[in-house]
Amino acid sequence: MQVMEMLEKLADNPFDHVLRSQLASHYAETGAWEKAHKQITLIKKQRPLSAQELSLFATCLRELGFEDEADLISNSLEVEEELDQDSGEEIEEATVSQIERPSLSIVPSSEEAVVVPIQSEARSRIRFSDIAGLNDVKKTIRMQIIEPFTNPEIFEKFGKKAGGGVLLYGPPGCGKTMIARAIADECHAEFIAIGISDILGIYHGESEQNLNAMFDKARANKPCVMFFDELDALAFARSKSSSVHGRTLVNEFLNQLDGVGRNNDDILFLSASNMPWDVDVAMKRPGRFSRQIFVPPPDLEAKIAILQRKLRNLPVDDFDITALAGKLKLFSGADIDGLIEQAKELVLQYIMETGEERNLTLNDMQLALSGIVPSTEDWLQTAKNLVKYSGSDRSYQAVQLYLKKNGML
């Protein structure tokens, strides 16, 4: 395919990363290093680079005379290879914050679409009904978030204004991300999920620029839900941080949330954190993530519902799901996913070894169960200490109630 044809196709679909990667390789082959660098940078803004793309990125930087930056990437690739881990692993903040951005223009040229439309992800659509249990959380969210967002006039009549963000917090794997996606669905809004890997850049000022680009993208796609996953990593408490880099990012984040000189109407700010105590306090002030909602581990009823849903379309023996759910003390939804995956592997292993097909049985589930430690345990222990020693601080009252109700306090 000719370069012009590739550029035309990319103008139609800026998310065709395979094609963009090919274009970058083509530019590199012809020695157009600056253009190759620009294409790889555009991919990097949308998703983590593959090992091959990272290697090309390093070559571009080296060819353009930025040896140190190239070495840093090559070294991280070598370490990754050694550890046999996925590509895209974060590079230490302290190291990256010292690196100056090469004086290359990474601003997309006009043929490469400045405002990138959001891809519709029909397959990953999540509704409230897909979330098992958490009925109180769902009720609160409907009254405090969805209704004011979709019917602002009614709420305004009663002196209640829509707006302000929400922080969903709790142990990992208990449905915070699912809830955020379901809120976007209920609000008929676009969903932009933002994680630390989308923001953290290796050059000085790059993280702030990435963050600003995300807000611009949201403003160009209203109504929209911006979901900041792992808010503690994106907005780590400045009082606990020794990194100047982290502080400038938090300052920029606060400016963007406050919408100074910009219009944040019709954008709903949601965030999630497993460690809300590490989130900068300024983030929790009115107008920002002032409402905090605790998302607890699933109760017995929710665990039964999760098991039923996830086993529904599998060849499974008839067994007592309620009794099994009763054994899943402190299991998160994600732990239950893991349990089922392991049990499935046992069945497949049996079938591969014997050539004899059989259903998944209670015995498979029990065997898989013996190797799983519930992942909410550590979190609940930390929360218990926090509640115990936080004195009159009522921030985590919902956690306190949960711990008391479950005999943990």
Please report whether residue 293 would count as binding ligand ADP according to CB under 6 A.
no
Mutual orientation of helices 300-311 and 333-354 as an angle, nearest 10°? 40
CB of 387 to ligand ADP, least distance (A): 20
Taking CB under 6 A as the rule, does residue 175 contact ligand ADP? yes
178 belongs to the binding site for ligand ADP (CB under 6 A)? yes
Nearer to ligand ADP, 27 or 331 (CB): 331
**Nearest residue (CB) to ligand ADP, 177 versus 221:** 177
**Closer CB to ligand ADP, 7 or 196, in the complex:** 196
Q: Does residue 223 have a cis peptide bond before it, meaning omega lies within 30 degrees of 0?
A: yes
Across the strands, what pairs with 268? 225
Query: Judged by CB under 6 A, which of 148, 201, 333, 374 binds ligand ADP?
Result: 333
Q: How far is 164 from 290, CA to CA, in rounded Å?
A: 7
Nearer to ligand ADP, 21 or 273 (CB): 273
Q: What residue is closest to ligand ADP based on CB?
A: 333
Alpha-carbon distance of 181 to 146, in angstroms, equals 12
By CB under 6 A, is residue 302 in contact with ligand ADP? yes
Residue 41, burial from CB neighbour count under 10 angstroms (0-12, 13-18, 19+): buried
Strand segments, DSSP code E, in 252-406 are: 267-273, 291-294
Span interacting with ligand ADP, options 94-102, 128-136, 190-198, 249-257, rule CB under 6 A: 128-136
Closest CA to 339 of 307, 294, 384: 307
Nearest approach, Cβ of residue 109 and ligand ADP (Å): 37
Q: Which is nearer to ligand ADP, 133 or 164 (CB)?
A: 133
Q: How far apart are CA 351 and CA 344, in angstroms?
A: 11
End-to-end CA distance of the chain: 66
Nearer to ligand ADP, 278 or 337 (CB): 337
Query: Please, what is the Cα angle at 158 between 152 and 163, to 5 degrees?
Result: 40
> In angstroms, rounded to a whole number, what is the distance separating the alpha carbons of residues 157 and 150?
14
Residue 334 interacting with ligand ADP (CB under 6 A) = yes
Interacting residue with ligand ADP among 10, 73, 145, 306 (CB under 6 A): 306
- Joined together, the tokens standing for residue 65 give 């005379």
CB of 166 to ligand ADP, least distance (A): 14
The span of 35-43, 235-243, 331-339, 360-368 binding ligand ADP (CB under 6 A) equals 331-339
Rounded to a whole number of angstroms, the minimum distance from the CB of residue 403 to ligand ADP is: 18
The whole-angstrom separation of Cα 383 and Cα 194 is: 26
* Residue carrying structure tokens 């090559």: 74
Q: Check if the beta carbon of residue 240 is closer than 8 Å to that of residue 283.
A: no
Distance CA 365, CA 304 (A): 14
Two tokens, residue 187: 């609000």
DSSP three-state, residue 200: coil
Q: Does 303 bind ligand ADP (CB under 6 A)?
A: no
Q: Please, which of residues 35-54 interact with ligand ADP by CB under 6 A?
A: none
152 near ligand ADP, judged by CB under 6 A: no
Among 24, 72, 134, 307, which residue interacts with ligand ADP (rule: CB under 6 A)? 134
272 binds ligand ADP (CB under 6 A): yes
Nearest-CA neighbor of 46 among 218, 199, 245? 199
Residues in the interface with ligand ADP (CB under 6 A) total: 18
196 lines the binding site for ligand ADP (CB under 6 A): no
Residue 148 in contact with ligand ADP, rule: CB under 6 A: no
Within residues 235-254, the interface with ligand ADP by CB under 6 A covers none
Distances, alpha carbon 154 to alpha carbons 143, 145, 146, 150, in Å: 12, 13, 13, 10
Question: In the complex, what is the shortest distance from the CB of residue 378 to ligand ADP, in angstroms, rounded to a whole number?
Answer: 14
How far is 409 from 401, CA to CA, in rounded Å? 9
Q: Smallest distance from the beta carbon of 194 to ligand ADP, in angstroms?
A: 13
Among 88, 102, 172, 259, binds ligand ADP (CB under 6 A): 172
Binding positions for ligand ADP, rule: CB under 6 A: 131-134, 172-178, 272, 298, 302, 306, 333-334, 337
